[in-house]
């Protein structure tokens, strides 16, 4: 049941992100008579400090968070897996250099490093994706390296090397399938982390810029009117909470399903 409703929330999130450009929304339309209007028949989730419909901006924010999460997690998984797998398989200087780079990145809190990079690069969604990717690939490289080190001496891989199979083919056909399960689980939790990071950076003014909508910027703008118009914070806050909770529950479910030890215990 838990996995069912979390999957439904994520499916709705993805569908909204895909169809929002074709919906008759007006997230940037200013209406002075509707300033700070509470939820009602005309505006289902109320209006913000400029009279813009909160529901329309919430849906646009869902699209922003979805595509930022997809790009950041996709690029981070791709770069981290390739770098970590190659370094662990070939070893030597490349592996030692990767360990040093990982240690340097892990010495800083990830969100603080992302804030510093976003501040240096300047605000904007492209720079936001680049900053979060530059921070996020390290975790996947570390995980891929650890997994490859534990499986690269298995019999079928040693046999493939003895038969003269080229290294790219061994990496693609023999190593990556073995290490894909933990990477998929890590990527699932990474989606939740990216959604929170994107909202946090937008809240600080380092992410999505006006007039584009983001859940983080909506919360930032609504904090000033929290006592008189709490719906400005509650709407994006609840959406952020539901998405992150659903992603984490789905990640827990995937981890349990892909854990060979739990599968062995449940087998008759």
Q: Is 46 part of any domain?
A: no
Phi, psi of 47 (to 5 degrees): -130, 160
**What is the distance between the alpha carbons of residues 249 and 114, in angstroms, rounded to a whole number?**
25
Q: Is 21 part of any domain?
A: no
DSSP the chain: -HHHHHHHHHHHHHHHHHHGGGS---TT---GGGTTPPS-SSSTT-B-TTS-BHHHHHHHHHHHHHHHHHHHHHHHHHHHHHHHHHHHHH-HHHHHHHHHHHHHHHTS-HHHHHHHHHHHH-SSHHHHHHHHHHHHHHHHHHHHHHHHHHHTTSHHHHHHHHTT--HHHHIIIIIHHHHHHHHHHHHHHHHHHHHHHHHHHHHTTSSSPTTS--HHHHHHHHHTTTTT-THHHHHHHHHHHHHHHHHHHHHHHHHHHH-HHHHHHH--
Q: Is 179 part of any domain?
A: yes
Per-residue pLDDT for 2 more than 70?
no
Number of domains in the chain: 1
Q: Is 87 part of any domain?
A: yes
pLDDT band at 84 (very low <50, low <70, confident <90, very high): very high
Per-residue pLDDT for 106 more than 80?
yes
pLDDT at 162: 87
pLDDT, average across residues 44-60: 91
Q: What is the pLDDT of residues 19-36, one digit of tens each?
A: 998 888 888 888 888 888
pLDDT, average across residues 142-169: 88
Q: Is 195 part of any domain?
A: yes
Long-range contacts of 201-208 (CB under 8 A, 24+ apart): 201/114, 201/115, 201/118, 201/128, 201/131, 201/132, 202/128, 204/115, 205/123, 206/115, 206/118, 206/119, 206/123, 206/128, 207/118, 207/123, 207/125, 207/128, 208/64, 208/125, 208/128
pLDDT at 263: 44
Q: Is 3 part of any domain?
A: no
Size of the chain, expressed as the number of residues it contains = 268
Q: Across 155-159, 169-173, 240-244, which has the greatest mean pLDDT?
A: 240-244
pLDDT band at 195 (very low <50, low <70, confident <90, very high): very high
When the pLDDT of each residue in the chain is averaged and rounded to a whole number, the result is: 88
Q: Is 23 part of any domain?
A: no
What is the CATH number for 239? 1.10.3720.10
**Percentage of residues of the chain with pLDDT beyond 90:** 51
pLDDT at 230: 93
Per-residue pLDDT for 152 more than 80?
yes
pLDDT, average across residues 234-240: 94
Q: Is residue 137 within 8 Å of residue 83, measured between CB atoms?
A: yes
The domain of 216 spans 52-266
Q: Is 74 part of any domain?
A: yes
Q: What is the pLDDT of residues 202-234, one digit of tens each?
A: 998 888 888 888 999 999 999 999 889 999 999
Per-residue pLDDT for 258 more than 90?
no
Per-residue pLDDT for 193 more than 90?
yes
pLDDT, average across residues 127-133: 92
pLDDT at 140: 95
């Amino acid at each position: 049941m838990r996995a069912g409703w979390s999957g439904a929330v994520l499916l709705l999130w993805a569908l909204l992100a895909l169809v929002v450009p074709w919906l008759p929304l007006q997230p940037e339309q200013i209406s002075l008579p509707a300033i700070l209007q509470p939820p009602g028949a005309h505006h289902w989730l109320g209006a913000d400090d400029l009279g813009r419909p909160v529901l329309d901006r919430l849906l646009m924010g869902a699209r922003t968070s979805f595509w930022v999460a997809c790009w950041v997690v996709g690029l981070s998984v791709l770069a981290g897996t390739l770098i970590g797998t190659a370094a662990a398989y070939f070893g030597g200087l490349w592996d030692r250099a990767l360990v040093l780079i990982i240690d340097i990145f892990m010495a800083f809190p990830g969100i603080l490093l992302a804030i510093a990079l976003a501040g240096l690069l300047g605000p904007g969604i492209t720079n936001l994706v680049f900053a979060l990717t530059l921070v996020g690939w390290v975790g996947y490289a570390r995980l891929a390296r650890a997994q490859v080190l534990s499986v690269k001496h298995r019999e079928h891989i040693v046999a493939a090397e003895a038969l003269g199979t080229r290294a790219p083919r061994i990496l693609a056909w023999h190593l990556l399938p073995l290490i894909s399960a933990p990477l998929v689980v890590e990527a699932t939790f990474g989606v939740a982390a990216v959604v929170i990071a994107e909202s946090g950076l937008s809240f600080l003014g380092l992410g999505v810029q006006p007039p584009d909508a983001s859940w983080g910027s909506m919360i930032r703008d609504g904090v000033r009117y929290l006592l008189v118009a709490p719906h400005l914070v509650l709407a994006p806050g609840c959406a952020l909470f539901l998405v992150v909770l659903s992603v984490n529950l789905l990640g827990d479910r995937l981890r349990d399903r892909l854990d060979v030890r739990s599968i062995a215990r449940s087998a008759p």
